[in-house]
Chains A and B, each alone.
Chain A
Amino acid sequence: MIELNATLIAQVLNFLILVVILRALAYKPVANMLQQRADKIKETIDKANADKKAAEDTLAQYKSQLADAQKRAQEIVDKAEITARQEREALVAETKKEIDRMKQNAQLEIQNERDRAFDQMKAEIVSLSLAAAEKIVAKNLTSKENDKLVNDFISGLDKNMFENAK
């Protein structure tokens, strides 16, 4: 049962032949294929990582752009508000000035009207006085009495008129 002979050498040779055949036939292609698969997987993972990184970068870029845009919009709104306020203030000031001016004009006009009315009244008073004087003269008063009468009348009128007008 346990008997060694030349089969031992034959078996070693058989096995070595099998190794050579399998190495050429099966091992190399399979090993190459495995390497190829490993490369492909690595490539895919690398690509996925790169894509992910690119996506993250883009997202960050978009976020920063959005934040920037919001900031700028806020700035524009603030600026517009400031401008509107300034314009309103300017308008209010202008209107106030206008009102003041109109007021002044009105006062000036009133003053002028009053002066003119006063002048007119004065002229009328003079003519009335003259008429009155003519009537007194017609009653044959002395020249002295006549002058005194006219002057008293006028001065009396003057005093009352001015006090009433003021």
Chain B
Amino acid sequence: MEHIGVRETVQFMGLTFNWETLCMTWLAMAIVIVISCLAVKSLKVIPQGWQNFIEIVVVWLQGQLDNMMGKRGSMFAPFIVSLFLFLLTCNLLGLIPTLASPTNDLNTTLGLALLVVCMVHFFGLYFKGGHYIAHFFQPFPPFVVINMIEEIAKPITLAFRLFGNILAGEILIIVLLHLLPIWMPIPSVLWLGFSIFISCVHAVIFTMLSMAYLGNAVKE
């Protein structure tokens, strides 16, 4: 219990890295890539096995993208699909004993959130130019302050929501295992089940919010 929140760090080229987070991230990446490989190994017109799963994700996200962004949505589809699969795998990874979620580290969630926000502003400027800057001063110029706070709040809320939920889930799993005697496993099992649900929900929320932010910026 004492190791919760204490991170094993490594130094590389004068920079500090959280070693466990990196390892777990690579593991999650490997799992996503392996599942994708299994899915596309023998693509058939009539889907089978993992192809079903990947197709459901791709079709669902493409539909959402079309709704939120219109024609430009397809451009972001690979990014959004990867984001969802990566977050889902990361969140679920922590539920396996001895493994940890990469998303229980604020560095991961904030990194992704900042990436999304940077993309929002970059593509907003790219597609809309001056209009994009002008919309911060809508409906009256003094609103720029509120709009700025909103823009700053976006990555912070996005990052902390995911980080907090996943970290809390993992902490509670450890706490329940330590608190309750071994003959009363029901609360642990219930919490594990709930954590699976939370993991999926937060992968969806992060992805949907990213899409919504991107949609606002690039929709025609």
Contacts and interface: CB of A to CB of B under 8 A. Distances in A.
Interface of A: 1-12, 14-19, 21-23, 25-31, 33-34, 36-37, 40
A25 B25 CA distance: 19
Contacts of B29: 14, 17-18, 21
B59 A7 contact: no
**Interface on chain A toward B: helix, strand, loop, or mixed SS?**
helix
Contacts of A15: 82-83, 86, 111-112, 115
B21 interface: yes
Contact of A6 (B17, B33, B37, B54): B17
A33 B45 contact: yes
Contacts of A8: 107-108, 110-111, 114
B199 to A, nearest CB: 18
Q: Is the interface of B mostly helix, strand, loop or mixed?
A: helix
17 contacts: A6-B16, A8-B110, A11-B22, A11-B102, A11-B108, A14-B22, A14-B25, A14-B26, A18-B29, A19-B83, A22-B82, A25-B33, A26-B37, A26-B39, A27-B82, A37-B45, A40-B45
B55 A19 contact: no
B17 A7 contact: yes
A5 B12 CA distance: 12
Contacts of A14: 22, 25-26, 29
Contacts of A37: 45
| Ranked 5 nearest A-B pairs via Cβ | A26-B36, A1-B5, A6-B15, A7-B107, A23-B78
A27 B15 contact: no
A22 B33 contact: yes
Interface of B: 4-5, 7, 9, 12, 15-18, 21-22, 25-26, 29, 32-33, 36-37, 39-40, 43, 45, 51, 54-55, 58-59, 62, 77-79, 81-83, 85-86, 102, 105-108, 110-112, 114-115, 167
Contacts, number: 117
B45 A30 contact: no
Contacts of A36: 45
Given A5-B15, A5-B107, A30 B43 contact: yes
A11 B21 contact: yes
Given A18-B29, A18-B32, A29-B40, A23 B82 contact: yes
A40 B115 CA distance: 38
Contacts of A3: 7, 106
A4 B108 CA distance: 10
A4 B106 contact: yes
Contacts of B17: 5-7, 10
Given A1-B5, A6-B15, A30 B82 contact: no
Contact of B32 (A6, A10, A12, A22): A22
Of A11, A31, A33, A40, most buried by chain B (CB within 10 Å of CB) is A11
B161 to A, nearest CB: 14
A27 B107 contact: no
Given A6-B16, A14-B22, A34-B58, 12 more contacts: A3-B106, A7-B16, A7-B111, A8-B108, A8-B111, A12-B111, A18-B29, A18-B32, A22-B82, A25-B33, A25-B36, A27-B58
A19 B29 CA distance: 10
